[in-house]
Amino acid sequence: MTDSVFKPSDGFVLLGTRMVEQWKASANDENKNMNDLRTPSELLLREQMHERQQNLQAIAAQLKTELIGIDDVIDRVIGAVRAWYVMPQLITRPVIVCLWGLTGTGKTQLTRRLAQLLGFYDRFVEVQMDGFSQNSGNYGASTISGTLESAGLVEGVPGILVLDEFQRYRTVSSRGEDSKVERYQDVWALLSDGKLPPALSELHNMERKLADAHYEAEREDEDDEEERRKKQKLRYKIDAWDAQALKRSLKLAEPLIEIMQWSNDYIHQLLVKFRESQQSWETDYSKLLVFVCGNLDEMYTETASRVEDCDTDADIFHRLTSRLSLIDVKRALAERFKPEQIARLGNHHVIYPSFSRATYEQLIAATVRNYVQGIADNCGLHFVIGSDVLAQIYQNAVFPTQGTRPLFSSVHTILSSSLVDAALWALEQGAQAGQSLQVHMAPDTAELVVQMQLPLHEAVGGQVHSQRFAVPLDLNRIKQRTSADFRALLAVHEAGHGLVVDSAHKVSQIPI
């Protein structure tokens, strides 16, 4: 009986191992056969997809080295454009990504740099929705379709469109009434499905002009035969303005010079043919990647309007703005746009929090490093900026709700004149190319102390030379005038703001 009891044996394990190996070999052969069955176009597509996927990863890494403090934003944007970039053949309507944030947080810069790294800068159009756009002075630029056509963006081909300062394109006034909007009225059709209707008014004008031409031709003075012969010999039959309208409306590929030579009868035939062909009426921009960028101050309550605040810690604003959600975006948009328009913006909204203190410190260090490198490239002197100088730049450059622009301006104001004067002084003292100069703050004064040590053969014992240079630290003087009592009141006031916003956020999350 014991012999009949099943027991695993080494032979059975070996047999099982061989079966698994045979199954794996069979599966590999099957996969190989499947690969062999794929057409060259399918294999090429797989290779292109893999290459583009790797390219996106490299672009994300590059953006994170250039744009400090927005790593999470970059990851979300890269994720949003992945399908559009890797498999554009699947895209049947525009991919819309909305970027909302305080001023100076890098929204527009991210879209421009992304377009460059993707290799789309020749198919990149930026429209300022307040009406001051690139190509805004060109004919037809009062519409999105005219702007895209003027920029040379070909329909049916992937491209990138940035609708910047979108908050200024409000269609609902602060009183809740409809606002009159004259420019870019076709933007909502573009955001819907990427299909834009033809400019029928231009077609009507062209037909009217053709009818007028025929009318006048029949009523020309028969005695003025010489004048008629001169007109018949004219090379150009229509002007450039009408030729451009005809080219855009009928989506013609011919150059303007050629179109200007067409006869009225031939143009009329083209108009009739175009009207009979309903399929060619719409202009197809469904392959576009559309970035909608703006500053929604209504979303950043108690933050965006405090442009003068240089006392509140940047981390406080960063924590408050990091809690904003899609619901906050929709609520803020409802104060500027109609519900059906908000729906056309989709649900892919990327929210920029205000910068943290650490981010501002990294920005300052990077900006100063680039500034110092520029001086080294020009005169060969290497300034080593002390941490105390960086701390003073932070104290006098950072307005937490205003982003990078005041910071860049302040770095230039504080360092430009003083370092140029220091370089001239060092060269007069005999400094050579490659010489390092230490830069620190003078105690209790708004001055930079620049020190350098000359070589032994030029100064006894390698003497250290130092010189002071005045720097404008305006905010220090303002803060020093503020009494301790006032600073205490300000701290309590800010704590109250934080408590109210935190409570409101928690209440908004309670299910009703």
**Residue count (the chain):** 512
Q: Interior CA angle at 172 toward 166 and 175, to 5°?
A: 130
Ramachandran sector of residue 482 (left: φ over 0; alpha: ψ -120 to 50; beta: rest): beta
**Beta-bridge partner residues of 382:** 436
Residue 393's pLDDT is 92
d(CA 161, CA 41): 30
Tens of each residue's pLDDT in the chain, 512 residues = 444 333 444 443 444 444 445 544 554 554 555 455 567 778 888 888 999 999 999 999 999 999 999 999 999 999 999 999 999 988 999 999 999 998 888 999 999 999 999 999 999 999 999 865 454 445 456 889 888 888 888 888 999 999 999 999 999 998 889 888 888 989 999 999 998 876 666 666 777 777 777 667 666 655 566 666 666 667 788 888 788 778 777 778 788 889 888 888 888 888 888 777 755 667 889 999 999 999 988 887 666 556 556 667 889 889 988 999 999 999 999 999 999 999 999 999 999 998 999 999 999 999 999 989 999 999 999 999 999 999 999 988 888 878 888 899 889 988 988 999 999 999 998 888 888 999 999 987 789 999 998 765 554 445 788 999 998 887 665 555 444 554 565 556 556 655 655 555 554 555 54
Give residue 212's identity as a one-letter amino acid code: D
Cα torsion through 148, 109, 292, 105, rounded to 10: -160
Grouping H, G, I as helix, E, B as strand and the rest as coil, residue 20 is helix
Q: At what angle do helices 107-118 and 40-66 cross, to 10 degrees?
A: 140
Give, as one character, the DSSP assignment of residue 279: G
Burial class from Cβ neighbours inside 10 Å (0-12, 13-18, 19+) for residue 401 reads buried
**Beta-bridge partner residues of 464:** 453
Residue 406's pLDDT is 87
Can you give 114-150 as a three-state secondary structure string?
Answer: HHHHHCCHHHEEEEECCCCCCCCCCCCCCCHHHHHHH
Contact 329, 100 (CB under 8 A): yes
Contact 114, 77 (CB under 8 A): yes
Give, as one character, the DSSP assignment of residue 288: E
DSSP β-ladder status, 124-128 and 464-470? unpaired
Smallest Cα–Cα separation from 97: which of 351, 354, 350? 350
Give the pair of three-digit tokens for residue 367. Answer: 């900006």
Q: Phi/psi of residue 97, each to 5°?
A: -125, 120
Residue 389's pLDDT is 94
Contact 125, 113 (CB under 8 A): no
Give, as one character, the DSSP assignment of residue 237: -
**Beta-bridge partner residues of 445:** none
Q: How many CB atoms lie within 10 A of CB 509?
A: 9
d(CA 364, CA 381): 20
Q: Which DSSP helix (H) or strand (E) runs through 398?
A: none
pTM for the full predicted model:
0.73
Q: Phi/psi of residue 71, each to 5°?
A: -60, -45
CA atoms within 13 A on the CB side of 172: 13
Q: Which DSSP helix (H) or strand (E) runs through 66?
A: helix 40-66
**Beta-bridge partner residues of 438:** 384, 451
Per-residue b/e over 164-200, b at no fewer than 16 CB within 10 Å? Answer: bbbbebbebeeeeeeeeeebbebbbbbbeebbbebbe
Contact 233, 226 (CB under 8 A): no
Smallest Cα–Cα separation from 73: which of 110, 108, 115, 112? 110
Residue 9's pLDDT is 42
**Beta-bridge partner residues of 90:** none
Rg for the chain (alpha carbons), in Å?
Answer: 33
Give the pair of three-digit tokens for residue 79. Answer: 């994720």
Residue 26's pLDDT is 53
Strands of the sheet with 436-441, listed across from one edge: 382-385, 436-441, 447-453, 464-470
d(CA 100, CA 132): 20
Q: What share of the chain is helix, strand, coil (3-state, %, to 5)?
A: 55, 10, 35
What is each CA distance from 463 to 289, 419, 422, 458, 459, in whole angstroms?
A: 62, 21, 17, 9, 5
Q: How many CB atoms lie within 10 A of CB 460?
A: 8
Contact 133, 141 (CB under 8 A): yes
Residue 292's pLDDT is 97
What is each CA distance from 274 to 200, 240, 259, 512, in whole angstroms?
A: 12, 21, 16, 56
